[in-house]
């Protein structure tokens, strides 16, 4: 079909134009702040030189300071735990709910929509509500656990350094579930029914169908959801501010919150920027893996 291929060739300009529209906007509004952060990570910056470019360069000093800080180890470890656990739990729960609500029963669609409430609440409010639920002395979670006989003593979710990170993870998973569930639902409903029907006729069981049909067909959605989930989790800031402020004693501190603390509470802005650049490096890794994965994804 020469006509098709030639019109595709002619249309290259169209694709490029579409991409450039977005890219231009992002370069103007996002690339500059990013570059500015990178620049500051090599400079000595304080509150009062924030807006001037005329600042002394200090080479890698900020990075050295950050990497030799006694808190670095625990903060990096916390960040990894926070991201992995949050993303895994969001995905499993979100996917489970998406599959569950894919079944036909009265009110399925309607009830599923209610899960979006978690996405509607502004971060500030979510943080405040969870801080009440998780409070040690009068929190309702402790009451539920004690009433069910699961625990004897009150658990100090937010003020015990061994628990505080997990408290933030619980709240963060709550926020992330609707996002995962709704997007995966969109993907699930885009899979044609006849594919399943054919498999059913072949005698494939539920699990087998899920593994051999659903998962491969959901590849694009899963890739998007996981990579965005990681990036969102790395950006989670409000919850830390509302629940633990990274404490007690850095017990729940993570890089994104630490970077802000260094910059805007200790006013060591060069060091704060250095931490943010280290985070960018992590995201480069995530983005690269995602982009690679799109090469193999199923195109209908």
Partner 1 sequence: MLRDERLSQYALLIVALALVAAYLFPVYWMYVTALKTGNEITAWPPTFWPANPDFAAAEVWQRMQMATYLKNSAIIAVGVTVIVVVLGTGCGYALARVRSRWMDVVLFSILMMQVLPSSLMITPIFVAFSQVGLLDYPRSAVILAQAAKVLPFYVVLTRATFVQVPKELEEAALVDGNTRIGAFLSINVPLARNGILVAALLIFLQSLGEYVYSRSLIQNRALQPATVGLQSFMGPNTSDWQGVMTYAAIYVTPIILFFVLLQRQIVSGLTSGALK
Partner 2 sequence: MTIRTILAGTTALIAGPAFAQEQVELDLWTIDDPGEYHYVMAEEYMAANPNVTINLRTVQFQDMVNDLARSIATGDAPDITYIDNPEVALFASRGMLMDLSPYIAESDVVNVDDIFPGPLASVTYEDGIYGLPRGANTIALYYNADLFRAAGLDPDAPPTTWDALYETAQTLTNPDENIYGIAFSAKNSEEGTFQFLPWVQMTGGNFDNIATDGAERALNLWKQMIDERLASPDTLIRSQWDSTGTFNAGSAAMVISGPWEIPRMSQDADFDWRVALLPVPEEGAERASALGEGDNVILANTDQPDAAFAFLEFLYGDMDRVWNDFGYLPASNVEVVDPKYPEAYAVFEESMKYARTRGPSPEWPRISGAIQTAIQSALTGQQTPADALAEAQDTISDVVN
Scanning residues 97 to 156, which ones bind partner 1 (CB under 8 A)? Answer: 97, 100-126, 128-130, 132-133, 135, 137-140, 143
Stretch that binds partner 1, among 54-62, 68-76, 205-213, 221-229 (CB under 8 A): 221-229
Q: Which residue in 34, 121, 135, 145 binds partner 2 (CB under 8 A)?
A: 135
In whole angstroms, give the CA distance from residue 210 to residue 100: 13
Closest CB to partner 1 among 21 and 92?
21
Strand partners, 57: 43
**Element (H or E) spanning 66, and its range?**
helix 61-68
| 221: contact with partner 1 by CB under 8 A | yes
Burial label, 49 (beta-carbon count in 10 A; 0-12, 13-18, 19+): middle
- Sequence-distant (6+) residues with CB within 8 A of 261 are 246, 253, 272
- What is the smallest separation between the CB atom of 64 and partner 2, expressed in angstroms? 16
Q: Which residues ranging from 29 to 68 are in contact with partner 1 (CB under 8 A)? A: 29-34, 36-37, 50-51
Burial label, 10 (beta-carbon count in 10 A; 0-12, 13-18, 19+): exposed
| 18: contact with partner 1 by CB under 8 A | yes
Q: Report the SS3 class of residue 43.
A: strand
- What is the smallest separation between the CB atom of 238 and partner 1, expressed in angstroms? 8
| 29: contact with partner 2 by CB under 8 A | no
Q: Report the SS3 class of residue 174.
A: helix
Q: Which residues ranging from 161 to 200 are in contact with partner 2 (CB under 8 A)? A: 161
Closest CB to partner 1 among 161 and 224?
224
- What is the smallest separation between the CB atom of 62 and partner 1, expressed in angstroms? 14
Longest CA span, the chain: 76
| 75: contact with partner 1 by CB under 8 A | no
Helix %, strand %, coil % for the chain, to 5?
Answer: 70, 0, 25
Q: Which residue in 24, 124, 266, 288 binds partner 2 (CB under 8 A)?
A: 266
Residue 91: alpha-carbon gap to chain centroid = 11
- Interface characters, 44-63, with partner 2 (x: CB under 8 A): ---xxxxxx-----------
Q: Which residues bind partner 2 (CB under 8 A)?
A: 47-52, 135-138, 156, 158-161, 244-249, 251, 264-267
């Amino acid at each position: 079909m020469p006509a098709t291929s030639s019109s595709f060739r002619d249309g290259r300009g169209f694709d490029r134009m579409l991409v450039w529209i977005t890219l231009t906007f992002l370069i103007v509004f996002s690339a500059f702040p990013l570059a500015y952060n990178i620049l500051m990570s090599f400079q000595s910056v304080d509150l009062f030189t924030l807006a001037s470019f005329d600042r002394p360069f200090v080479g890698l000093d900020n990075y050295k300071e950050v990497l030799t800080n006694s808190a670095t180890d625990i903060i990096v470890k916390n960040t990894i735990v926070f991201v992995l656990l949050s993303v895994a739990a969001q995905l499993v729960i979100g996917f489970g709910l998406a599959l569950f609500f894919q079944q036909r029963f009265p009110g399925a669609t309607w009830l599923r929509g209610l899960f979006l409430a978690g996405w509607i609440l502004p971060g500030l409010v979510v943080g405040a509500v969870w801080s009440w639920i998780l409070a040690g002395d009068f929190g309702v979670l402790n009451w539920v656990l004690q009433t069910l006989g699961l625990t004897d003593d009150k658990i100090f979710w937010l003020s015990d350094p061994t628990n505080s990170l997990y408290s933030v993870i619980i709240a963060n998973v709550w926020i992330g579930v609707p996002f995962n569930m709704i997007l995966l639902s969109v993907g699930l409903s885009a899979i044609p029914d006849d594919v399943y029907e054919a498999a059913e006729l072949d005698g494939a069981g539920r699990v087998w169908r899920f593994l051999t049909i659903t998962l491969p067909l959901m590849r694009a959605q899963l890739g998007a959801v996981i990579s965005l989930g990681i990036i969102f989790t790395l950006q989670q800031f409000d919850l830390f501010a509302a629940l633990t402020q990274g404490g007690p004693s850095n017990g729940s501190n993570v890089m994104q919150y630490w970077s802000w603390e260094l910059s805007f509470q200790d006013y060591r802005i060069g060091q704060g920027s250095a931490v943010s650049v280290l985070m960018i490096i992590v995201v480069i890794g995530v983005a690269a893996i995602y982009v690679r994965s799109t090469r193999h994804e199923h195109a209908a």
